[in-house]
Amino acid sequence: MRIIPAIDIINGKCVRLSKGDYATKIIYNENPLEVAKMFEDHGVQYLHLVDLDGAKASHIVNHKVLELIATNTNLIIDFGGGLKSDDDLKIAFECGANQITGGSIAVKNPSIFRSWIEKFGADKIILGADALDEKVAVSGWQEESNEELIPFIQYYMKEGVKYVICTDISKDGMLQGPSFELYQKILTETPHVKLIASGGISTFEEIPKLAEMGCEGTIIGKSIYEHKISMKQLENYILNN
């Protein structure tokens, strides 16, 4: 299972929110490149980079941060947050993103999202399926849609999607453990999905459990910044798996 640390960006700084609420913002580092290099120094190969300003603005904002990290590290970066147009994707890929994540767009404008899968290939496009009570949430989690989570994932898998990041919003940033039951349900009902678990990871012991269930990757954020999981633990896990 891939270990994918997260860097969330507001005003060019590395922050974390709780349950997607911008009012809960904590700045952890003024320099996201420093954080990315620290991850790389501990054997991490992947990075989940989220443009929270972009999620609010509905277009790419922090592409310079993406470019800075992509140019100065060898990290394989998936980038998301407010990507709504072909131009946004062009900028993201030109600035060094290896993959992009689309969430709200897949709900609100399925034809554009389907065209991205066709144009850029399923390996480049991740479906962001973030949910509250198994309903997909959109617009930086500010809105709940009427889309049921599992049928939503199944629909896009038929359209060619391979990778799905799923965050249970009620768990995000709360350090109370991930939604094991929800992930088990998704993996059971969509057996070929490359599921990336995100949200709520609070202890190292949860990581092997997610791997055992069949998650393809896990995104880890606040538990690293709050020193609940050490980089040494992650380094050893990466070395031995």
Largest CA distance in the chain: 43
Beta strands 99-102; 76-80: pairing state: parallel
Q: Which residues of 145-164 are buried (b: 16+ CB within 10 A; e: fewer)?
A: eebebbebbbebbeeebbbb
CA atoms of 94 and 96, how far apart (whole Å): 5
Q: Within 13 A of 142's CA, how many CA atoms are on the CB side?
A: 11
Burial class from Cβ neighbours inside 10 Å (0-12, 13-18, 19+) for residue 232 reads: exposed
Amino acid (one-letter) located at 197: A
C-alpha distances in angstroms, 153 versus 96, 103, 163, 194? 27, 11, 10, 11
Tell me which of 51, 78, 88, 130 is the catalytic residue. 130
Catalytic residue among 8, 53, 88, 168: 8
Q: Is 64 exposed, middle or buried (0-12, 13-18, 19+ CB in 10 A)?
A: exposed
Helix (H, G, I), strand (E, B) or coil at 90: helix
Active site residue 130: yes
**Known catalytic residue: 123?**
no
β 13-18/2-10 pair status: antiparallel
Three-state DSSP class for residue 46: strand
Active-site residue numbers?
8, 130
